[in-house]
């Protein structure tokens, strides 16, 4: 090959590499939430005031679009600047994964959200002041799973079937779960199934319906019997959203009402004020604050 030919080949390679690099889109992601909490102790003592930022997180998301597929990378860590380092966690790993999508198929590997977190909790409308939206169904599942592999098969944005397996060397059986989600303009419905070692299967269901100026959300978990459920009704005004929700479990003493107002100040900022009441203990908590998403 002549010197001119070699230079042309090198130049073409540089252009190709630069083109591949420029095709990767990287952007920061995150959520900064600050709130003031007022709570009454369960028994005796004095009421308390506190500041909290434990619903905050930061991360990075990258996408490279190829001719017929896309590769995504996601990293996310929870942050709590106001944490007591002797008690709480200042930095908490949440998600770290690589995903490949082609057509109707998607394959994701890494530290992932559990299918219950993705398809029950995330699809429901509920509280902002508590983790997992304050839903009682979240107490039966871990929000994240390490060393996980997920396969998604989707039909556009309408229907998705998912299966997730966890590589756990400490057990002879591989923990796994499956899920299906149907999304429409009127709402969504999802179902999950989880089978773990030495346990009966867990079933989970979520239903959200959007009407004219209001919505209804319900979610429940079943294992031989109904374990727990959450329900919420929400109305949408011109500038505010108000809601009333109820949570209950098979323990008759574990019931909670919640009501509040959430006001979008912009596409990325949400102001909120929420009151929680436990009727069996007559305990009341109140939270107000804002959430900035980017």
How does pLDDT run along the chain (294 residues), one tens digit per residue? 444 444 443 343 333 333 444 479 999 999 999 999 998 765 556 668 899 999 999 999 999 999 899 999 999 999 998 887 666 778 899 999 999 999 999 999 999 999 999 999 999 999 999 999 999 999 999 999 999 999 999 987 799 999 999 998 877 788 899 999 999 999 999 999 998 777 889 999 999 999 999 999 999 999 989 999 999 999 999 889 999 999 998 776 679 999 999 999 999 999 999 999 999 888 899 999 999 999
Assigned domain for 263 exists:
no
Place of tokens 């069996």: 280
Assigned domain for 281 exists:
no
Assigned domain for 85 exists:
yes
Which token pair is 65?
């679009």
Whole-prediction pTM: 0.86
Assigned domain for 39 exists:
no
CA distance 277 to 258: 6
Assigned domain for 69 exists:
yes
User: Which residue segment(s) compose the domain that 62 sits in?
Assistant: 24-29+50-103
Q: How many domains does the structure of the chain reveal?
A: 1
Residues found in the chain: 294
Assigned domain for 216 exists:
no
**CB-CB contact of 69 with 59 (8 Å):** no
Assigned domain for 91 exists:
yes
**CB-CB contact of 290 with 282 (8 Å):** no
Assigned domain for 240 exists:
no
């Amino acid at each position: 090959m002549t010197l001119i030919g070699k230079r042309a080949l090198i130049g073409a390679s540089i252009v190709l590499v630069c083109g591949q690099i420029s095709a990767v889109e990287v952007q920061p992601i995150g959520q900064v939430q600050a709130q003031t909490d007022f709570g009454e102790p369960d028994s005796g003592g004095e009421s308390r005031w506190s500041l909290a930022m434990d619903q905050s997180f930061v991360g990075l998301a990258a996408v490279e679009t190829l001719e017929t597929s896309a590769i995504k990378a996601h990293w996310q860590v929870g942050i709590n600047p106001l944490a007591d380092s002797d008690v709480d966690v200042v930095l908490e790993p949440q998600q770290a994964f690589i995903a490949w999508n082609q057509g109707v198929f998607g394959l994701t590997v890494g530290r992932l959200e559990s299918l219950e977190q993705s398809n029950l909790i995330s699809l429901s409308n509920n509280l902002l002041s508590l983790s997992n939206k304050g839903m009682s169904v979240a107490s039966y599942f871990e929000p994240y799973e390490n060393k996980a592999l997920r396969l998604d098969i989707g039909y556009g944005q309408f229907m998705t079937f998912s299966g997730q397996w966890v590589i756990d060397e400490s057990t002879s059986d591989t923990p796994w779960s499956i899920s299906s989600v149907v999304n429409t303009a009127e709402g969504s419905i999802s179902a999950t199934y989880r089978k773990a070692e030495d346990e009966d299967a867990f079933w989970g269901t979520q239903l959200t319906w959007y009407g004219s100026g209001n919505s209804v959300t319900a979610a429940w978990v079943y294992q031989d019997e109904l374990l727990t459920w959450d329900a919420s009704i929400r109305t949408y005004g011109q500038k505010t959203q108000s809601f009333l929700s109820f949570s209950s479990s098979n323990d008759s003493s574990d019931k909670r009402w919640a009501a509040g107002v959430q006001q979008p100040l912009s596409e990325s900022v949400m102001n909120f004020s929420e009151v929680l009441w436990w009727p069996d203990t007559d305990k009341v908590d109140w939270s107000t604050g804002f959430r900035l998403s980017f």
